[in-house]
Chain A
Amino acid sequence: MNVHSRGKPKIRAPRRTLVTNDDDFQTTWSQLEASFGQIHSKNASSISYETLYRLGYRLVLKRKGEELYNGVANFERKWLTNNVQAEVKSLLAPSLLAPVGSGAGALSTVERRELGERFLRGLKQAYQDHQVCMNMLGDVLMYLDRVYCGENHVPSIYTRAMQLFRECVLDVPAEEQNPHSVRILDVVNSIILEQVQMERDGEIIEKNILKSCVYMLEGLFVDAQESEEKKLYNVTFEPLFLRMSRDFYHDEAERLIREFDAGGYCRQTKKRLGEELDRCCSTLSESTTQKIQAVVEEELITNKLNELINMDSGANYMIINDKAEDLGLLYDLNAQVDNRKGKLSNAIHCQIIAMGDALNATILDIAASGPQAANGLTDAAIQWVDRVLTLKDKFDRFHEVSFRSDHIFQTTLAESFHHFINAPAFGRAAEFISLFIDENMKRGIKDKTDAEVDEVLEKAVVLIRYLKDQDSFEMYYKKHLSKRLLMHKSVSLDAEKLMISRMKMELGNNFTYKLESMFKDMSTSEGLTSDYKDYVSGLESTGPRRVDMIVSILTGVTWPLESASSMEELSNKPQQKVIYPDAVNRAREDFEKFYGQRHAGRILFWQPNMGTADMTVRFPGKNGSGYRQHELSVPTYGMIILMLFADLPSGESLSFAEIQAGTNIPPKELSRNLQALSVAPKTRILRKEPMSREVNETDRFFFNEGFTSQFKKVKVGLIAMRNRAETVAEQEETKKAQDKQRALVIEAAMVRIMKGRKTLSYSQLLSATIDQLSSRFKPEISMMKARIDALIDREYLARVDDASPPAVRYVA
């Protein structure tokens, strides 16, 4: 470096001293001014950036920044006022100033549109030119911007020039002579609005011009602060636009609802909404999107939604006529304005309940048509389930297609189904569903593939989920299942088990525990029977032959044995014990012995009402010679009865009372069995006198020697053995049984609660109990109160004296 070459380094003063001199400013400024003029007339390419920059730099360095700044501002003000403003005004056709609609005859829409476009195009051009020029000025005066503007906190040249554009071009009266006339800015706004309106009315407009003008409005500010909310667009244009749109859509909504049905209205609304959103992107500012959307939604949707849903062609119509697509549109609209979609979901709720109630009513009608129509009622029950399932399918489809699998609607649907299925006026859902499953297990799933079986089961489980009182369903199911198991009516044991496991998933372990143990009983019984067979064959090698016997050992508490109490009575009054034929009795005693060896201390109660017997009966031949042999499969009681006739000489008869005395069968059962043996035409093994449909105590019975059947094997079914819908009387019985069951459950729950909490007020205890039992059933208040009293009587609980509110405590 030449530092050292010069000997002792010596700092040089700056080459040019900074002398202030007024002449200087004027000469420099006039040079700059001339160049600025050139820039404005688009002659920049011949001007040297370096020169201009240096001029500006010098002035700033000489503390002439302020003068320079003001000079530029004045120059621009003059330029804008004299050149740009005049040019813009010249494009302003007088008709554009007239308010829209007045003098309507004067100009057609097309003419107005073109005039408007011409004006906007001119303005846009002026603005863009100004921007370009100001950018160049900003470049040249960079030093001024950085140093002077930065230090003195004044807006940059560019910013200032944009303010000037607003002041000198937009904020001036549109009419020269009339200083109070509308400003050019207002004219711009109204032209843009008019064009938008034209587009809404179906005209094609030039969007990009509008967009450029909107850019301009967004780039300019109301004051010098330049805060985001103070854009011309936000302050002047947007409110106008929103107001005008609101008016338009208010009328539009009225028009649409007059002219279209609900589906059409939805389509139109969707289209309008789409148009507005597009318009914000393509023509106006995206910042308006949400605001205009709110306006359209409020006018077209929120205000009309009720009307829309309740129209003749509204939600109900769509549901009934399967207008999934329209319903979907309706859903979309509601979703737009309400996250919870309250109105539509409410309407759907009501509709489902209405349809469900109608369904219930139909079935109840059938049920009311007579007690003897029990079979018909069973069919009706199955039909009911079928129809409910169909309804469910329908709404599931709506849910998927129309409601976009919205989980809010899922809840609505579930609630609605729950509501009508558990309607107190109906109250037989649990029974019906169980019957439905029973039917399917016995017949329905016969020739079905696994997948189809699965589907049926799934549907059934869905319905179970809707049930409020699951304990009552459990009761029915247990009853039906036990019959299926004992009578071997199930088509597929796998399907049964599958069903159980599904219910287990759905309703929990507690629910299926007893059902599962029923299956267990069945399988242990099988093993037991074969063991017994071995045991018997050991005996037979030395003694007489025994009757073949298959025994099912049922655990007392899990199986729904009819009137358990009566069983106890039975054991207490031996005289009432059924008298079995000797052969059978021997086998029975053998088995009891065998079982006693295996399980000491267990008592077996025989349930002949639930068993069957196969027996071979010989009938005399047609012409007296030889005999016909039939294998009869009869209920155990039937077998006992028939055995009485085995020893009876031909032609003799037994009276009802004689049979009863000979068998000790409970009269009700006896009459039922006799009915099956003597009344049913295909299995008339006994002849009754007199011949009537009913069995009376005075009847006499003969062995029907003339029995014929084309089958070798004849099955005698008991009417009561089939699972069927209950008659009103049975229903009441079931209800009683259920109440008894519930009473126990409630007491157990209460004791559990009190053991933990020691002291509780009545209301707390009640709510805790309801809480605990809600998964099984909803206990009635009166029943719970009765249970509390009962517990107090039995000294599980005690009233707390002087407690307010009244309370009870646990007695340890």
Chain B
Amino acid sequence: MVSSKHDIEAALLAEKRAISAGQLKEDNPLDLSDDFKHFCEACRRGDLKVCQEMIMQGVNINARDSFDNTPLILASLCGHYEVVQLLLESGALCERDTFQGERCLYNALNNRIRNLLLEYDYSKSTDPLQPLAAHVASLLSREHPKTSDLALVTETEVFHIHKFLAATRSPYFARRLAAAPGVRSWKVPNGLHSESLQAALRFLYLGEVTADLGEGEKEQEILTGIDKLSRQLEIPRLFEHILESGDRRLVRQRRTEEVSRGRDELDAFFRGNVVKYKIEVDTSKAEDVKWDKNNYIFADILLRADEDPLEPEAEEPPPVVRKVAGPLNGIPIGPFSSDSWSPSRTRKPRRSVLYPAHKAMLLRSEYFLTMFSSSFKEAQDTEYLQIVTIDCTPEVLEVILTFLYTEKADFGLDVAIDVLFTADLLFIEKLKVRAAQIISTLGNGGASVVEADNSRGEAGAEEIDIYDVIRAGWDTRVQRLEEFGARYLAQRLEHHIDREEFAELVKESAARVKNRQETDTVELIDDIRYELSERYRLRFEEAGIDEMEEAAGGLLQDSGSSETGQSPPQNFQSIYAPEIDGELQHGVIRTLDGEIAGDEFAQDAMNYQILLGKIDTLLASLNLDA
């Protein structure tokens, strides 16, 4: 299972040599920047939120610090399961038979993390850009629905390609197409092998360029052709790619580089065209926008998103928004919708944004694939570009488009739930996962930043409406959000347990199990109970669980407040210190019932019992048995 030590050492040596010889790029470059230090610190402490923020800022997730530790090693060593998961999902490498990978495995604090690492080994640690590259590559051979708009005609074959991709990837094409955007087909000069052109196109389309080019003279001709194309299309990397197909790892690195380069080019194209030329108009006029088919950015579809009519009232707190009756609860639907939105309610005319887009990229969503393959209106050929309305805000639509074009999915907590719903609507599974990830990391359920901020304030200042999040998780079938919600609620159960909304939510959770039996459990409650025990576990373990049980039984023992000063683990202190400090500032240590407890531990133990008791009371009142 695990490679023996000398094998790893030998591999490491070979790798070092290759790197110093310049043949290989280092997988884990040394990074001494402050950002990275900050990131590593967050990984040590298990601060999900900071980790997520740093990743979104673009810190190199696979770099190493001055002690040769990668963030993944740190997180697994310190036992932060959620952080390890986040890092792996964000593309941290943990490969068998590499030095750093094996180190991660050896270091992992517990088996849970170890298994997680193993699970990600090989299969999932592939290039996160792979899905994008695979999609783009598949466009070259996809015939239905038709998305290509340029035919390259050689003596023997016709290649159907996409202008926007050609222009994105090759400066030559970009110039030629800028001069003649309406062109339908080009004849390729005679004497060029189809195989050469095919290889070049595959390269442009981010596909794997194989070195299988026939034999002898033919191979020579094809290579010459590729060389020529490589220069003409101004993509010198192409020829280098073809020539260097020896070492597998080198090829992989080169390919990873090329894909990421392709992504950057696509990103630039997306920003410079799709986003740049978006049209903002009054919603009432949105239907009248006409775009010619032969446009300079080669768009073949307009995607429309209407701004929220309630935007002006956005200052109102979210709970109120949820309870607004009237038009909002109606279902605004496409063409019919304009009537149901009463203009009198909004102070200024509703605005819409139209993005010129490319079907070829939209096909990544099954929704669009089906739409364009069907025989409905959207798939018909019309004089001007079709306008397809997407049921979300422009902001969200832009997030969606960004993801489809570039695989990038960095967006704020504020739109996360909307993105989640829209991604669900459009069947973009990866984006759903990403949205859930963002919600569960930035809206941190662990008691770190949020809890710290809240500890002195009131519950109302929470930055997410956890009830919405949990319901969204249920609606979009994202298990992770429910788990997150349970953790979140457990961390601050004292603020929620008495709320009507909470009882409502528990009832809903119970109703989710069909044909409920008397003995069935309520999933949410189970999760909360588990997370609650986790919340207090650390402290109990510190002092020994039995002792605490006794303390809970009312035999309060003065274990001495000096214990808090006994060098607890770093993370422990950082998480709980603020809370304790806050309480200490008040000078008195009280339980949730307001009784004065002897010290923090006794207080915790009692609080735990009180919360558990409250849950039982709640269930009883709801007539639920769990």
For residue A186, give the distance in angstroms from its CB to the closest CB of chain B. Answer: 35
B377 touches A48 (CB 8 A): yes
Q: Which B-chain residue is minimally distant from A23 (CB atoms)?
A: B330
Contact of A477 with B by CB under 8 A: no
Of B25-33, B60-68, B409-417, B610-618, the one contacting chain A is B409-417
Q: Which A-chain residue is minimally distant from B392 (CB atoms)?
A: A15
A55 touches B333 (CB 8 A): yes
Of B108-116, B223-231, B364-372, B562-570, the one contacting chain A is B364-372
Tell me which residues across on chain B come within 8 A of A31, comparing CB atoms. 333, 336
Contact of B370 among A11, A24, A139 (CB under 8 A): A139
Of B142-150, B181-189, B464-472, B591-599, the one contacting chain A is B464-472
Bound form: Cα–Cα A6–B318 in Å: 16
Tell me which residues across on chain A come within 8 A of B391, comparing CB atoms. 54
Contact of A46 with B by CB under 8 A: yes
Contact of B418 among A2, A3, A14, A49 (CB under 8 A): A14
Given A44-B376, A46-B377, verify A13-B371 contact (CB < 8 Å). no
A13 touches B322 (CB 8 A): yes
For residue A15, give the distance in angstroms from its CB to the closest CB of chain B. Answer: 6
B413 touches A3 (CB 8 A): yes
Of A140-148, A316-324, A433-441, A604-612, the one contacting chain B is A140-148
A11 touches B469 (CB 8 A): yes
Number of residue pairs across A and B with beta carbons under 8 Å?
Answer: 138
Contact of A178 with B by CB under 8 A: no
For residue B613, give the distance in angstroms from its CB to the closest CB of chain A. Answer: 31
| Count of chain B residues with a beta carbon within 8 Å of a chain A beta carbon | 57
Q: Which B-chain residue is minimally distant from A48 (CB atoms)?
A: B377
B377 touches A45 (CB 8 A): yes
Contact of A17 with B by CB under 8 A: yes
Bound form: Cα–Cα A146–B477 in Å: 11
A3 touches B411 (CB 8 A): yes
B366 touches A50 (CB 8 A): no
Q: Which B-chain residue is minimally distant from A136 (CB atoms)?
A: B374
A48 touches B465 (CB 8 A): no
Bound form: Cα–Cα A4–B442 in Å: 13
For residue B580, give the distance in angstroms from its CB to the closest CB of chain A. Answer: 25
Chain B binding surface, main DSSP class:
helix
Bound form: Cα–Cα A1–B403 in Å: 14
Bound form: Cα–Cα A24–B308 in Å: 21
Given A3-B413, A14-B468, A139-B370, verify A47-B463 contact (CB < 8 Å). no
Contact of B379 with A by CB under 8 A: yes
Contact of A28 with B by CB under 8 A: yes
Contact of B378 with A by CB under 8 A: yes
A45 touches B410 (CB 8 A): no
Given A12-B318, A17-B329, A139-B370, verify A49-B376 contact (CB < 8 Å). yes
Bound form: Cα–Cα A55–B379 in Å: 19
B418 touches A44 (CB 8 A): no
A13 touches B321 (CB 8 A): yes
Contact of B388 with A by CB under 8 A: yes
A11 touches B463 (CB 8 A): yes
A8 touches B415 (CB 8 A): no
A11 touches B417 (CB 8 A): yes
Tell me which residues across on chain A come within 8 A of B471, comparing CB atoms. 18
Bound form: Cα–Cα A53–B439 in Å: 27
B475 touches A61 (CB 8 A): yes
Contact of A51 with B by CB under 8 A: yes
Contact of B414 among A12, A58, A140 (CB under 8 A): A12
A100-142 interface code vs B (CB 8 A; 1 in, 0 out): 0000000000000000000000000000000000001001101
Q: Which A-chain residue is minimally distant from B442 (CB atoms)?
A: A9
Contact of B177 with A by CB under 8 A: no
B464-508 interface code vs A (CB 8 A; 1 in, 0 out): 110011011001010000000000000000000000000000000
B374 touches A139 (CB 8 A): yes
Q: Which 8 A-B pairs have the closest CB atoms?
A: A3-B412, A49-B376, A11-B464, A51-B334, A9-B413, A13-B468, A13-B318, A49-B371
Binding site for A on B (CB under 8 A): 56, 308, 318, 321-322, 328-336, 366-367, 370-371, 373-380, 388-393, 395, 410-418, 421, 425, 427, 439, 442-443, 463-465, 468-469, 471-472, 475, 477
**Can you give 17 A-B contacts (C-beta < 8 A)?**
A1-B410, A3-B414, A9-B442, A10-B413, A10-B464, A11-B439, A12-B415, A14-B421, A49-B377, A51-B334, A51-B335, A136-B375, A139-B373, A140-B374, A142-B367, A142-B370, A142-B427
Binding site for B on A (CB under 8 A): 1-4, 6, 8-19, 21, 24, 28, 31, 44-55, 57-58, 61, 136, 139-140, 142-143, 146-147, 151
Task: Contacts A11-B464, A17-B328, A51-B333 known; list 10 others, CB within 8 Å.
Answer: A4-B412, A10-B463, A11-B463, A18-B471, A31-B333, A48-B378, A49-B376, A50-B378, A136-B375, A143-B425
